[in-house]
Structure 1
Amino acid sequence: MLLVDVIWRSGTCSYTIRARKEPFALMKIAALLRSAALVTAVALVPATTATMAQVDGRAGPELAKLYTIMQRVQANYVEPVEDDVLIRGAIDGMLAALDPHSAYLDGSDLQRLNTMIDGNYSGLGLSVIMEEGAVKVISPFRGSPADEAGIKAGDYITHLNGELIYGGDLDDAVARMRGKAGTSIRLTIFRPGRDEPIEVDVTRGVIELEPVTHTLQSGNIGVISVNEFSADVGVDVYRAWQALQEEASGRMSGLVLDLRSNPGGSLDEAVALSDLFLEEGRIVSQRGRARGETLLYDAETVFRGDMAEGVPIIVLIDAGSASASEIVAGALQDHRRALIMGQRSFGKGSVQSLLPLGPDTALKLTTARYFTPSGKSVQEGGIKPDIRVPQLSDPDFALRERYQTRESDLRGHLINELSIDDKEMEDDAIADPRFQLTAEQLEEQGIEDFQLHYALETLRRTTASSVALRSRR
């Protein structure tokens, strides 16, 4: 799955930046320290040759079985098979047996991971997974060519330029969808609830996602949208807030932090963003089995104080909000600093680290689970909004909601240690009498984004204390 939750460390060193009189400058220094160590901001966990060579004696018979099967295949398969093909297949199968996010990465795979974290590549701008042999869209990045072409979360891509890709390799499909900006590709899409497939030509573009965008709405209410957690997102949100304050005619009266369809990214940036609004306490903890994989992240590490002190905040999430997005939403919800609104999030509560195997190969391995300040794991269950608001302005919302994919739907996903009850995850299906307008009725009223509209109206008609309570002391 093309979602990544990554952490940054350099050997045994750690960096703690405390902002006092010049928070912005120190945040920039922190970002420079991260980029100096590793531009992609992913965790590199050194693996020595001795460690790599160690094999549990109990695995001997199983390894012998694997070698025997390789010999039989090479001797009897209808066509000659090279060793590297069989070894790569065995590695891929081994990791696929663990969870949907662990994978072996070679040169091209590593490059795709790096470009996704950097947020700059040529392609369509899609977050996709492989589900039962089909390429399924988790979400299009907002403002991307795919988004503008009308591709929706929950769509299945069945053909590329008329060629069937069902049953193929996800990396191959992703590589084919990427390409030189200005070139086009025809996608054949199956949309649940539609009788006929949809064919759409999409022109590739340079995906410079602008991880952070902002607008000022009437009533001095700011909207900051975070599209992904690539490098410097914390600094970018700080800048956006400063710009909103300069644009406003007076004091800011509210803020909407939009994390919808945000598939995640750097764990460090999720911590930095949360720290902008928290004065004290835990932001997130990660717990792993290996030494060094249990870490605690607290407020006042990147930014001192609450940059929007006294301003009520609403955080918007949906089923496409995953991993790093859920860290931010969970931290602000548990500290009662923001009201969470929208739909239950994706439910990816695991951290992946990169273990280098050579100059151009690495192992992306799930090494830890993360937990919100209250100790809740979002694995499977996700972040449940304080107020569930469906996206009524989308005419296909009801159909996609029925077939929506979350972490709990992925084959081989990690089980939540607290055993989330299925009934708890089915609450989203309960109809709310407040939300009965149709997409056509909303369009007549000029409402293009009902969830954002509802958040803005909530901020306009309520007091700060009733929307987002201050942190517990």
Structure 2
Amino acid sequence: MNVKKSYLAALIIVSIVLGSVLTYVGVEVIGIGQTEQADGGSQQSNAGTDGEKQELIEEFSDMNAFSKVMRAYSVIENNYVEDVKQKTLVEGAVQGMLDSLGDPHSVYMDKETVEQFNHSIESSFEGIGAEVSMRDGHVTIVSPIKGSPAEDAGLQPKDQILEVDGESLDGFDLNEAVAKIRGEKGTEVELTIQRPGVSDAISVNVVRDDIPVETVYPEVKNQNGKKTGVIQITSFSQKTAEEFNQALSDLEDKGIEGLVIDVRGNPGGLFTSVETILENFIPEDQPYVIFEKKNGEKQRYYSGTKEKKNYPITVLTNKGSASASEILAAAMLEAGYPVVGEKSYGKGTVQKTLDMGDGSQIKITTYKWLTPDGTWINEKGIEPTVKVQQPEFFYTTPVEVENPLTLDMNNENVANIQTMLKGIGYDPGRTDGYFSEQTAQAVEAFQKDHDLEVTGKVNQETGEQIQAQVVEAVSAEENDRQLNKALEVLYEQ
């Protein structure tokens, strides 16, 4: 083997291990805007002490261990039928090593992806507005962002994206898939979705838009004659903690007697943000999270809070609450605050990124995070104190009617429409997928009320109108069983 090439390979390896480090605490979540998003911290360090660097250098000092890699490099360069850029081979080798870990959260990010990620957590980005991760080999929705095109189109947590504009994502890594999905404001992308519990794939068209990183939404509600504060946190970005603390102060100035913290659909974000928020509520004598190294060594994190707030607090979660939002929910739960809603997503690892020296980064899982009592929630989620499902029509799929739905049909599309009709006040008689006479009567009543041709059949126009009414009903506060239950539980404490 050419000695100069061996030396080059050694330099590449050493440059990797000597790069600076950015630690992401929590779980990586990929954003389909222009960018990839990761849970974790803004904690930057000049990674590695001299001792750690020396240890890493010694690990890689035995070139015999890498002779196969260098031999493969030489074989490809000298024998492959076409010219291959050195950068392509090196990046392919790095990507291959990370892929071999079988960990969807250990990834390689090229310079462009890193720049887009940094931009996305600071201001805004263009795209469909969803956070995704790789699960079981499929690009999977963690959560759509509040008010985003993805939410408006009906995308839900755990939807798997199979195709983009008719092109299969089989064999794509997460960065490649994200690149296919993101795009400029005003452009449309067609996603083929496989939804849990639905046998047939569905097609969803989403028009990309600007996705502002606005993460804190406070309001005051009157519950049983008492002022109640509700703060929704949609993700944990750089300014989230500052905005939350300001919102909390404003609510307290207004005399709230209780607080609901809503992290439903929150896919995570920067650990430093959730850490600062928890300083308001978790007393100093108990940890709010534990980090565990692979050798079992544990590091506990504590707040400086002397005592709890003098008003009751509940936390809202659902299946779209992931990672950093699970850190918050678990800490609050084990500090004695009720959690209401659905079991959370279940992501419990910590990533560290190493700067590769050319603007690209490796993000690799380095820790587990545990709840204060030492529980690892990865792929399990956090069970709420009070389980509450939303009305069934909240979980319906986007309407897609190629051929009109008519009497005596029996399929999932009919069942979906029946559930929607029932949810918006039109009784279809059944929701099992059989298009009965009573279902036709419900369709006719809907068509009459909305100035549509009264046929008793569901064509695309009728289906879209039904879906529009469902979206409106989902937004209505009286239909939000989880929030209403959280408000009820609040004053039972």
After TM superposition, give the deviation of residue 93 of structure 1 in Å.
2.1
- Cα distance, 1:50–1:229 mapped onto 2, change above 3 Å: closer
Structure 2 distance, partners of 1:379, 1:319, is 13
Aligned to 2:235: 228
- Per-residue Cα deviation, 1:160-218 (whole angstroms, up to 9, x for no partner): 33444333332133123333323333333343555654444322222113111122233
Structure 1 distance, partners of 2:44, 2:177, is 34
Preserved CA contact (<8 Å) 1:47 1:356: no
| Structure 2 counterpart SS, 1:6 | coil
Aligned to 2:97: 94
- Cα distance, 1:393–1:313 mapped onto 2, change above 3 Å: farther
- Cα distance, 1:134–1:323 mapped onto 2, change above 3 Å: closer
Q: Following superposition of structure 1 onto structure 2, how do residues 303-342 of structure 1 map, counting pairs within 5 Å?
A: 306=308, 309-336=309-336, 338-342=337-341
After TM superposition, give the deviation of residue 229 of structure 1 in Å.
0.7
Structure 2 distance, partners of 1:463, 1:195, is 39
Structure 2, unmatched stretches of 5+, are: 1-28, 31-36, 399-418, 427-472
Preserved CA contact (<8 Å) 1:392 1:439: no
User: Is residue 2:212 matched to residue 1:208?
Assistant: yes
Preserved CA contact (<8 Å) 1:128 1:139: yes
Structure 1 distance, partners of 2:478, 2:58, is 56
- State which of 44, 47, 52 in structure 2 corresponds to 1:45: 47
Preserved CA contact (<8 Å) 2:213 2:237: no
Structure 1 distance, partners of 2:69, 2:44, is 36
Aligned to 1:435: none
- State which of 24, 31, 39 in structure 2 corresponds to 1:5: 39
**Code of the aligned partner of 1:381:** K
Aligned to 2:284: 280
Runs of 4+ in 1 over 6 A off after TM superposition: none
Aligned to 2:372: 373
Aligned to 2:247: 240
- State which of 109, 112, 136 in structure 2 corresponds to 1:108: 112
Structure 2 distance, partners of 1:151, 1:223, is 25
Structure 1 distance, partners of 2:339, 2:195, is 29
| Structure 1 counterpart SS, 2:141 | strand
Structure 2 distance, partners of 1:236, 1:305, is 22
After TM superposition, give the deviation of residue 360 of structure 1 in Å.
0.7
| Structure 1 counterpart SS, 2:121 | helix
Structure 1 distance, partners of 2:422, 2:178, is 38
Structure 2 distance, partners of 1:439, 1:450, is 17
After TM superposition, give the deviation of residue 144 of structure 1 in Å.
0.9
Aligned to 1:147: 151
| Structure 1 counterpart SS, 2:356 | strand
- Cα distance, 1:62–1:330 mapped onto 2, change above 3 Å: same
**Code of the aligned partner of 1:378:** I
Aligned to 1:383: 382
| Structure 1 counterpart SS, 2:346 | coil
- Cα distance, 1:149–1:358 mapped onto 2, change above 3 Å: same
Structure 2 distance, partners of 1:57, 1:165, is 35
Instruction: Count residues in correspondence.
Output: 386
Q: What TM-score does the superposition give when structure 1 sets the normalisation length?
A: 0.71
**Code of the aligned partner of 1:317:** T
Structure 2 distance, partners of 1:381, 1:451, is 28
After TM superposition, give the deviation of residue 87 of structure 1 in Å.
2.5
- Per-residue Cα deviation, 1:297-349 (whole angstroms, up to 9, x for no partner): 2122xx6654xx2322221112221211111111111110x211222222222
- Cα distance, 1:380–1:190 mapped onto 2, change above 3 Å: closer
Structure 1, unmatched stretches of 5+, are: 12-43, 400-437, 468-473
Aligned to 2:170: 166
- State which of 296, 303, 315 in structure 1 corresponds to 2:300: 296
After TM superposition, give the deviation of residue 74 of structure 1 in Å.
4.3
Aligned to 2:25: none
Aligned to 2:391: 392
Structure 1 distance, partners of 2:109, 2:49, is 15
User: Is residue 2:274 matched to residue 1:270?
Assistant: yes
Structure 1 distance, partners of 2:56, 2:485, is 61
Aligned to 1:83: 86
- Cα distance, 1:55–1:85 mapped onto 2, change above 3 Å: farther
Aligned to 1:124: 128
Structure 2 distance, partners of 1:285, 1:442, is 43
Structure 2 distance, partners of 1:398, 1:179, is 24
Preserved CA contact (<8 Å) 1:145 1:204: yes
- Cα distance, 1:197–1:376 mapped onto 2, change above 3 Å: closer
- Cα distance, 1:233–1:122 mapped onto 2, change above 3 Å: same
- Cα distance, 1:263–1:289 mapped onto 2, change above 3 Å: same
After TM superposition, give the deviation of residue 384 of structure 1 in Å.
1.7
Aligned to 1:32: none
**Code of the aligned partner of 1:92:** Q
Structure 2 distance, partners of 1:357, 1:286, is 25
- Cα distance, 1:185–1:168 mapped onto 2, change above 3 Å: same
Structure 2 distance, partners of 1:372, 1:196, is 38
Structure 2 distance, partners of 1:135, 1:287, is 27
After TM superposition, give the deviation of residue 444 of structure 1 in Å.
3.7
Structure 1 distance, partners of 2:74, 2:142, is 40
After TM superposition, give the deviation of residue 244 of structure 1 in Å.
3.3
| Structure 1 counterpart SS, 2:261 | strand
Structure 2 distance, partners of 1:450, 1:369, is 39
Q: What TM-score does the superposition give when structure 2 sets the normalisation length?
A: 0.69
Structure 2 distance, partners of 1:355, 1:108, is 16
- Cα distance, 1:54–1:454 mapped onto 2, change above 3 Å: closer
- Cα distance, 1:358–1:236 mapped onto 2, change above 3 Å: same
